[in-house]
Amino acid sequence: MTDTYAHLVNQGLGRNVAKRLGLPQPAVLRRYRPGQPLITGPIVVQGNTPGADNLAAELLSWDLDVRRHAVPKEKLGAIIVVLDDVARPEDLGKPVLAAAASLRDLGPGGRIITVSRPASDAATPAQAAARQGVDGLLRSLAKELRAGATGNGLLLAPNVETTSPGALAAVRFFLSGRSAFVDGQFLTVSTAAGEPPRNVEKPLEGRIAVVTGAARGIGAAIARTLHRDGATMVLVDIPAAGDHLAEVANEVKGTALQLDITRDDAGQRILEHAVQRHGRLDIMVHNAGITRDKLLANMDESRWNSVIQVNIAAQLRINEALLASEHFRSSPRIVSVASTSGIAGNRGQTNYAASKGGVVGMVRATAPLIAAHGGSINAVAPGFIETEMTARIPFALREVGRRLNSLQQGGQPADVAETIAFLASDAAGGINGEVLRVCGQNLVGA
């Protein structure tokens, strides 16, 4: 769906009127296109630790323009602040203020990335305070950025270095246009697992992927993105969506499986289809979902149960079948679509929020189970995304939903798909049990 307001305020007269009246001026975001540079402009790596030195050296090997000190008034593509060894809150000042001196030089669509460690792993209260301080400063800074720039943070577990595969994969993702609608978020790399991509343009080459709810909207966008990145696709949706499903399957040169995922044998049916055609299954994307909105006082059993069955109970049954199968053992990846409603709640969506909160709980509890097979499971939590569903929201509420984030606009289905493709990659193997919001730093919720 087109955001007419955003289009108008990015043109001459509309831009001037919006500026004069103090109206929101959402920028055109820098989104990924195959073949484009990872980032435009120099990258400044701030920090005086071995981790900062090693990360800067690695980025240089990517043929990027990397600086350890900014040149005044030079337009920058990104600023990376490495805070991996802060021991006290006082340690934050020097590197953070050094980065602050370059903020006005950050170009449109620029990136700010902090690299630190989780407060939960701190050895002392002072260290925990410093690490948690990074959380507050990054989320606040992300709300100050303009012109489509974003700020995100990377948290490295004790055994993870700044050049571990998962850390580098996350840095690449946050620098790129793939993360255009990810803002003000932290992502934890919990292990040193993962493999550097053999082909950065085709990171899913040779992988077999299943996407549920693939006939339209976000599901179709996921299918197209995974196919673009090299995956062989199996697309699943209900029989009523068969025509649309076949169209998307033909487009991505995949196969279609018409299936109600709430069937008790859905997991086995998916496995049989993938194994018969491709010999195995590598990536499972749980996208299928429904809404049946009502205030809880008006909620009936049918509305409640149908949402729970499709949105979470079906995923649990399918995952159980996958984890028990010898055909889901090649660095397996599961990515589920959650929602900001399951994190922050949403009026009239108690059933939907319960189901999506359930996805978050499932992902965290399943992480150690799939890690035993060398795999990972993560969730993506979209905020306001421009889909057929949001197009049916009344005009005033739709406009509020679009502007209620730091980027002042709705996301695109492709934004969700890009994040899923990243989490499904081999390089992201050290990221497990995480929930990454794709919401433009929605102002409601964490």
Residues with a catalytic annotation lie at: 352
Query: What residues contact residue 283 under an 8 Å CB cut-off, 6+ apart?
Result: 204, 207, 208, 209, 210, 226, 231, 332, 333, 334, 335, 424
- Strands of 172-311 (E only): list them: 186-189, 208-212, 232-237, 255-258, 283-286
The strand order across the sheet containing 150-156 reads 66-67, 43-46, 76-82, 106-116, 150-156, 186-189
Angle at the Cα of 30 from the Cα atoms of 29 and 33, rounded to 5 degrees = 130
Grouping H, G, I as helix, E, B as strand and the rest as coil, residue 411 is strand
Quickly count: other Cβ atoms within 10 Å of residue 258's Cβ.
Answer: 15
In this structure, are residues 146 and 109 in contact, taking their beta carbons and an 8 Å threshold? no
In this structure, are residues 411 and 438 in contact, taking their beta carbons and an 8 Å threshold? yes
Structure tokens at 283: 């990536």
User: What phi and psi values does residue 94 have, to the nearest 5 degrees?
Assistant: -60, -55
Nearest to 284 by CA among 239, 313, 319, 326: 319
Q: How is 65-76 classified by DSSP, letter by letter? A: -EESSPPTT--E
| Type of residue found at 210 | V
